[in-house]
Amino acid sequence: MDRLDIALLEHMQQDSQVPLTSLSEKVGLSPSACHRRIKALEKDGAIKRYVAELDNRKIGLQLDVFIEIRLTAQTEISFSAFETAVHQIDEILECHLMSGEADYRLRVAARDVADYDDIHRNCLARLPGVAAMHSAFAIRAIKKWSGYPVERLLG
């Protein structure tokens, strides 16, 4: 990956809908060369997919909840069963295997506390092998994820 690929990725993370002619001007490539590089980045898996970023509050999901999960056992079978179950629950937005006291950290969005109670009772409480679950409600986001710092790859 060279500086042009990194520049393409940086611009595309900010706006993946930018017209190819504008993008090619921003990175100093012809539109055809820019298109070839984008296709190569897609083929190599650096660009996995294109998505729309939604405003959670405008669609009625007022509450962000982070849940730390500790499993009853740290075995391959326990991890596999838990991870398979997580993939079946649409309400779980993110799941990360962690180091430290918690085995996993989940992120869930809910309309309000009552909605989270429903998600907790009917989804999270049914996850296999859970020994302990601790929820924390986000008060407000200070900085939301907006892309990887790909420019650091140059240094």
Written in H, E and C, the secondary structure of 74-113 is CCHHHHHHHHHHHHCCCCEEEEEECCCCCCEEEEEEECCH
pTM equals 0.86
What pLDDT, on a 0 to 100 scale, did the predictor assign at position 149? 92
Q: Which tens digits make up the pLDDT trace of 83-124?
A: 999 999 999 999 999 999 999 999 999 999 999 999 999 999
Segment 24-81, tens digit of pLDDT: 999 999 999 999 999 999 999 999 999 999 999 999 999 999 999 999 999 999 999 9
